[in-house]
Structure 1
Amino acid sequence: MVSGTVRDASTKETLPYVSVFFKDTKIGTQTDLNGNYTLSSNQPQSALSFNYVGYNILTKNITPSISQTLNVVLAPSANSLDEVMVVGGKKVRYRNKDNPAVELIRQVIAHKDENRIKSYQTVAYQQYEKMLFSVSNVSEKFKNKKMFRNYQFLFQEQDSTLIGGKNLLPVYIQESLSDQYLSKDPLKSKTVVKAQKQVEFDNRYIDNKGMKTYFDRMYQDIDIYQNNISVMSNDFLSPIANGAPNFYKFFITDTLKNQKPQIIELSFTPRNTGDMLFEGKIYVTNDGQYAVTGATLGVNKNINLNFVRAMKIDLNFEPNALGKYNLSKSNLLSDFGLGKGKGIGFTGERTVTYKNYQFDTKLPDTVFQGKSKVVLADAAKKNDSYWQQNRLDTISANQLKIYKNIDTLQNLPSFKRTMKIVTLLFAGYQNLGPYEIGPVNTFYSFNNVEGLRLRLGGRTTPELSKRYYFENYAAYGFKDEKWKFFLSATYSINNKSIYEFPQNYIRASFQRDTKIPGQELQFVQEDNFLLSFKRGVNDMLLYNDFYRVDYVKEYENHFSYTLGLKKWSQTPAGGLYYQNDASQFVNRLTTSEVSVQLRYAPNEKFYQGKIYRSPIADRYPVFNLKYTAGLKGVLGGEYNYHNIMGSIDKRFYLSQLGYSDVTFEGGYIAGKVPFPLLDIHRANQTYAYQLSSYNLMNFLEFVSDHYVSINIDHNFNGFFFNKIPLLKKLKLREVVSFKALYGGLRDENNPALTSGLYRLPDYEDGSKRTYALGNDPYMEGSVGVGNIFKLLRVDLVRRFNYLNHPEVSEWGIRARVKFDF
């Protein structure tokens, strides 16, 4: 094995894509973006040959059968040329027809299947991955601020070949070493992680697993042979995708004839610089195989991509014994920042090295048994000696120091104080050791019934106990002069934090509080201050007493189930009342329920926050099924009924047309029940755009005992706006949505047709307030503009039918804060 760096003899700059071969053989490689190369052979070799256009060919002797380092410099070749006159003429319009570059890329596309790694019956190889994140382009003035006086040991000098300025502040590093197995027929894959390590932050402030998962989602494996390449949670069209000639311009910019096979350099650029497309170069063999031997991918400065100031992807391929090329190394480097300038940014780099390929060898069936990814029990326990001997790539001493530096940092009192403040601001909790107070955004709110509402509460942490967890809050409404409170006790069966995946716990709780019927929120507390602002008539509220016992069990494959027992007593308040068919007002309704909920989210990834798990959007579906049985005569329950609900959520990626989030849902209630126990459809009377609610439906406007619904939210990622000059510069993105709800009431649950039920509510003026859906489904849709100031989405929402209902609007404007790349 021979490795080293190739530089220019005059400037000493590193040279990328220099061809390096063992002399008189076809065993070769190319230098990467930083001029580095590694070449190996299982036979003794005596010399290396270095070839690069514009430089003299260089041959260097090596010691056979010994691993060694060989750094070389190439001398530019000097040629005397006659005078050349270039005359500018009419600009030739770019066309695909009769374009040799396009014909060549079509040959590359036609030969994709035979050149990709999946063309072999079986493949086995080793993979080493290193991911590094740093605060970049740190100025000396910033570095020497008083607040960093105790943290000078963290700073490093930035490599001049990378993106950014002089100083780096490394904050995170992770490594993994794995064995990879692929089978073509049947199609199977298996990953066995033999060793892994990462910087570990204090779990009180940061979800380490979630952070690793989020970075893995942003920096996925780069397969240029795929039609779409996922980077920064966006799908980029590959330059060799089937439809690439329709979106890219291609140019033949060089032919490397001094090596076998000849290599053609193809440069490409987007037809529209704002689209999710790459620009750069690919290197292709000119031997009828049309295999990719290397690629450099970047993005145009005008691309509709948030916060990304620069990005480089470097792919190196090497020939194997079968005469084909396989990926030997990939490097993805990106620089993030709020502006286009040279200010402080955030640099992320992922390097993956692939070695020891074995093709078409017999793999035992036991290899693919079990889960597709297995982490060995001792993977996180490997010592430094193991890593030093088994890394497939080099790692600098400065990068290795990051592990120790972050450990030292977390022990500094000033850093601990800073993290407490940051956690309070962003997560809403103030950590006091065994107990934390929060969430802050619920401390103050208001509504028409309670008036000013103050709340204070918190929960215990694993510092108190890893088995027992307690949560509580107390709230007081100054208008209704009533106290509300919540108490819960949880026992962790697997002796892990109940906020850590996979969960396995039993919880008992009691809650006395208010709720708006028909308001269902995702990832937001109901008494969040911002939700206090509502449109229209908003005077309905329920006083609820919940007695609950729940058992939650999750599995590593992301299947989970929840068993529940609940007693629920509800009392209407404000403009809401319960009145039976004898015109008598009912002050209290009590039900007792048992339930089982099944959930399956294959390959789900999420970040575990202080309150909610925040899912990391991906292409995999999420299935939910819930069954609830009402028990009459048990714990005071007044009704027997059966309620079953199911849903499927999935994101569809449509390449250059963006992506769609689709939810299909349905429910059915068997039994005779009053309207508070029916499906009260999710409504929204706030000014925030809510993805899962009907944004122009009023609270408690529709109830059903059977229904189906579909919700489609599509983001075009600026596909159309990128063609309009002004909008292209603003990097706005177009979004559309459509929601339809079809359902109704059977005669036995319709109080107009059946006795013994509560009357549907009316407004104070006697006009009807609550309805059953008729023959037509409820429908609404919206068109919107996203990425305003890179954070805001504003929708113009239209309600298509049931416009004769009182207090409804045909049009509305709603806004939503959304952070996206």
Structure 2
Amino acid sequence: MLKHCFLFLFVLCHALTYSQAHAKNINEITQDSITKSEFLKHLGNGYLPTKYFNFDLRYLIKYNQYEALRTGIGGITNDAFSKKYRVNSYVVYGFGDDRFKYSIGGGFRIAEKTNTWLNFSYTDDLQETGSTKFLTDKRFFQFFEPRLLNIDLFHKHITKSIDLEHQLTPHLLTETQLALTKIDPTYNYSFNFDGNTFENFDLSIAKIALQWSPFSNYQTSQGGIKETKEGFPKFTLQYTKSFKDVFKSDFGFSKLDFRTIHQIGTKDNGLSEITLVSGITNGNTPLTHLYHAYPNNINKETILQRFSVAGLNSFETMFFNEFFSDKFATLQVKHYLKPFHVSKRYKPQLVIITRYAIGDIKKPERHQNITFGSLKKGYTESGFEINKLLFGFGLSFTYRYGAYHLPEFGDNVAFKFTFNVSL
């Protein structure tokens, strides 16, 4: 695993260096349609802009334990192509599972003032089992997704969806989605329901998500609503409903997910960040749609074998697939100390971190061929990061204690890289 991490980080750094070296040339080619500042803004949002089409950098290169190296291309049409219609798609290939994945979609704008879009998509891809994605988070970009390196539990899904984006008010973003999904776990799993055993299944799902940013500042113009100043706290709420026997759906269940993020101060002068995430599911919910509490520790014997890259909001000492819950809550508190001004360009930063998770699950015996525990006693870890020591790299140390403290000292410790880069 350590060898794969170094290889992937080397390729990533090379790609970033190449991208920055050629940013000026690309900007000159497209200077008739886009300014340098706009180019950098697009790049920071994860897009490489051209005249009519913006390439999406999320699909360029990734790595995980199931697909190994995953690479591809994707993007979306821009305003120069059309302000009323858009087409978005991607195609990727995983060298580990020797399989192509893809998505094709599009949308049209119903109302410009409220930035209301009706979108359609067809996707054949993978999703991490136990993960929850908020609809309003779909345009979140990182040059490097550290936790992705370690994930090994995925399920295949073929999803046909239609969704409606609507800015209800400048501070309240909504999105509603209807989807038909065929799910096939890539691992040995079966769900026992009503005396029947399901190894793959169909779901008909409706979702509605609300993102409320009451303390942000917004500007309304002819082009729509734009955030001019980010304010905290922010709140996100999402309700999911699966309908049994609708379009041959196998199970009926519901989920309610909530997240709030609050920040006090600034990273340049000291910043405290508090993140609360919770979720509850009711009904006949398969493992694919339960909660895993964001683990990021590889199931290896020694600390050095588990040496990898720390995530942004993950539990570094919690082993993958160690816990699953049908209701859970996590609280993470980070305090960024004022950066150490060693020199004008060299400014490492110390971050103090504490994380807590609690949860439970009813009828775990329904989930067959997989073993996991419950979080009902409360899980705690604390540690620190020293970021930006060299070329965006840093180090993190985390210790697991409390009710789920393990007998061997080394099993409670996570020692990892951190990686932070920004334009």
TM over 0.5: yes
2:222 maps to none
Residue by residue, what CA displacement relative to the aligned partner does 1:539-595 show, whole Å, maximum 9, x if unpaired? Answer: 43211112211111114431122222122221111x453354999974312221212
2:8 maps to none
1:509 maps to 121
2:374 maps to 772
Matched, 1:812 2:415: yes
Read off the aligned partner of 2:54 and give its amino acid letter: E
In 2, Cα distance between equivalents of 1:533 and 1:600: 28
Q: 1:446–1:532: 8 Å Cα contact kept in structure 2?
A: no
Alignment of 1:668-687 (within 5 A): 668-685=280-297, 687=308
Read off the aligned partner of 2:199 and give its amino acid letter: N
Read off the aligned partner of 1:543 and give its amino acid letter: K
Give 1:796's match in structure 2, choosing from 393, 397, 401: 397
Read off the aligned partner of 1:474 and give its amino acid letter: V
Give 1:717's match in structure 2, choosing from 313, 323, 338: 338
Give 2:149's match in structure 1, choosing from 509, 534, 549: 534
In 2, Cα distance between equivalents of 1:515 and 1:703: 16
In 1, Cα distance between equivalents of 2:188 and 2:229: 38
In 1, Cα distance between equivalents of 2:407 and 2:184: 26
Q: 1:681–1:700: 8 Å Cα contact kept in structure 2?
A: no
Extract structure 1 runs of 4+ deviating beyond 6 A. 409-412, 415-425, 520-523, 581-585, 614-617, 654-657, 726-730
Residue by residue, what CA displacement relative to the aligned partner does 1:386-425 show, whole Å, maximum 9, x if unpaired? Answer: xxxxxxxxxxxxxxxxxxxxxxx99966x96988997897
Alignment of 1:140-289 (within 5 A): none
Q: Normalized against structure 1, the TM-score is what?
A: 0.40
The alignment partner of 1:603 has SS state of coil
In 2, Cα distance between equivalents of 1:508 and 1:727: 50
In 2, Cα distance between equivalents of 1:662 and 1:644: 21
In 2, Cα distance between equivalents of 1:615 and 1:786: 28
In 1, Cα distance between equivalents of 2:337 and 2:248: 52
Q: 1:550–1:563: 8 Å Cα contact kept in structure 2?
A: yes
Q: Which runs of 5+ in 1 are unaligned?
A: 1-147, 149-203, 206-408, 497-501, 608-613, 752-756, 762-767
1:466 maps to 83
In 2, Cα distance between equivalents of 1:472 and 1:656: 38
Q: 1:442–1:525: 8 Å Cα contact kept in structure 2?
A: no
Q: 1:447 to 1:791 in 2, by over 3 A?
A: closer
Question: 1:459 Cα shift?
Answer: 1.8
In 1, Cα distance between equivalents of 2:160 and 2:217: 32
1:741 maps to 357
In 2, Cα distance between equivalents of 1:483 and 1:783: 39
The structure with the largest strand share of the pair is 2
Matched, 1:456 2:73: yes
2:106 maps to 489
Q: Normalized against structure 2, the TM-score is what?
A: 0.74
Q: 1:656 to 1:471 in 2, by over 3 A?
A: closer
The alignment partner of 1:534 has SS state of helix
Q: 1:619–1:652: 8 Å Cα contact kept in structure 2?
A: no
Question: 1:710 Cα shift?
Answer: 1.1
The alignment partner of 2:288 has SS state of helix
Q: 1:562 to 1:412 in 2, by over 3 A?
A: closer
2:364 maps to 750
Q: 2:297–2:414: 8 Å Cα contact kept in structure 1?
A: no
Read off the aligned partner of 1:468 and give its amino acid letter: Y
Question: 1:803 Cα shift?
Answer: 4.6
In 1, Cα distance between equivalents of 2:101 and 2:268: 51
Q: 2:261–2:275: 8 Å Cα contact kept in structure 1?
A: yes
In 1, Cα distance between equivalents of 2:327 and 2:131: 19
Read off the aligned partner of 1:485 and give its amino acid letter: Y
Read off the aligned partner of 2:385 and give its amino acid letter: G
Residue by residue, what CA displacement relative to the aligned partner does 1:331-361 show, whole Å, maximum 9, x if unpaired? Answer: xxxxxxxxxxxxxxxxxxxxxxxxxxxxxxx
Q: 2:49–2:55: 8 Å Cα contact kept in structure 1?
A: yes
Read off the aligned partner of 1:636 and give its amino acid letter: K
2:165 maps to 552
The alignment partner of 1:684 has SS state of strand
The alignment partner of 1:493 has SS state of strand
The alignment partner of 1:676 has SS state of helix
2:323 maps to 702
1:438 maps to 56
Alignment of 1:20-169 (within 5 A): none
In 1, Cα distance between equivalents of 2:122 and 2:31: 40
In 1, Cα distance between equivalents of 2:202 and 2:369: 18
In 2, Cα distance between equivalents of 1:411 and 1:672: 53
Q: 1:550–1:565: 8 Å Cα contact kept in structure 2?
A: yes
The alignment partner of 2:317 has SS state of coil
Q: 1:740–1:780: 8 Å Cα contact kept in structure 2?
A: yes
Give 2:314's match in structure 1, choosing from 675, 680, 693: 693
The alignment partner of 1:563 has SS state of strand
Question: 1:660 Cα shift?
Answer: 1.0
Structure whose alpha-carbon radius of gyration is higher: 1
Question: 1:513 Cα shift?
Answer: 0.5
Question: 1:512 Cα shift?
Answer: 0.4
In 1, Cα distance between equivalents of 2:292 and 2:350: 31
Q: 2:63–2:149: 8 Å Cα contact kept in structure 1?
A: no
Q: 2:393–2:417: 8 Å Cα contact kept in structure 1?
A: no
Matched, 1:642 2:254: yes
In 2, Cα distance between equivalents of 1:728 and 1:419: 23
Q: 1:518–1:700: 8 Å Cα contact kept in structure 2?
A: no
Q: 1:656 to 1:465 in 2, by over 3 A?
A: closer
Give 2:93's match in structure 1, choosing from 466, 473, 476: 476
Q: 1:732–1:785: 8 Å Cα contact kept in structure 2?
A: yes
Q: 1:637 to 1:804 in 2, by over 3 A?
A: farther
1:55 maps to none
Question: 1:471 Cα shift?
Answer: 0.6
Q: 2:255–2:280: 8 Å Cα contact kept in structure 1?
A: yes
In 1, Cα distance between equivalents of 2:141 and 2:192: 33
Residue by residue, what CA displacement relative to the aligned partner does 1:635-671 show, whole Å, maximum 9, x if unpaired? Answer: 2222222211222211123999832111223222222
Give 2:204's match in structure 1, choosing from 586, 589, 592: 592
Q: 1:560 to 1:579 in 2, by over 3 A?
A: closer
Q: 2:325–2:361: 8 Å Cα contact kept in structure 1?
A: yes
Q: Which runs of 5+ in 2 are unaligned?
A: 1-23, 220-225, 299-307
In 1, Cα distance between equivalents of 2:391 and 2:217: 24
Q: 1:582 to 1:698 in 2, by over 3 A?
A: farther
Read off the aligned partner of 1:436 and give its amino acid letter: N
In 1, Cα distance between equivalents of 2:330 and 2:382: 13
Q: 1:530 to 1:815 in 2, by over 3 A?
A: same
In 2, Cα distance between equivalents of 1:793 and 1:616: 31
Q: 1:670 to 1:710 in 2, by over 3 A?
A: same
Matched, 1:781 2:382: yes
Q: 1:788 to 1:810 in 2, by over 3 A?
A: closer
Question: 1:428 Cα shift?
Answer: 5.5
Identical amino acids, percent of aligned pairs: 18
In 2, Cα distance between equivalents of 1:444 and 1:706: 34
Give 2:181's match in structure 1, choosing from 555, 563, 568: 568
1:632 maps to 244
Pairwise CA RMSD of aligned residues?
Answer: 4.4
Read off the aligned partner of 1:669 and give its amino acid letter: T
Q: 1:595 to 1:420 in 2, by over 3 A?
A: closer
Read off the aligned partner of 2:337 and give its amino acid letter: F
Residue by residue, what CA displacement relative to the aligned partner does 1:693-750 show, whole Å, maximum 9, x if unpaired? Answer: 22232333321122222111111215xx79xxx899975433201110111013xx33
Q: 1:603 to 1:435 in 2, by over 3 A?
A: same
Q: 2:75–2:90: 8 Å Cα contact kept in structure 1?
A: yes
Residue by residue, what CA displacement relative to the aligned partner does 1:232-275 show, whole Å, maximum 9, x if unpaired? Answer: xxxxxxxxxxxxxxxxxxxxxxxxxxxxxxxxxxxxxxxxxxxx
Between Structure 1 and Structure 2, how many residues are aligned?
Answer: 379
The alignment partner of 2:324 has SS state of strand
The alignment partner of 1:638 has SS state of coil
Q: 1:629–1:640: 8 Å Cα contact kept in structure 2?
A: yes
The alignment partner of 2:295 has SS state of coil
Q: 2:147–2:311: 8 Å Cα contact kept in structure 1?
A: no
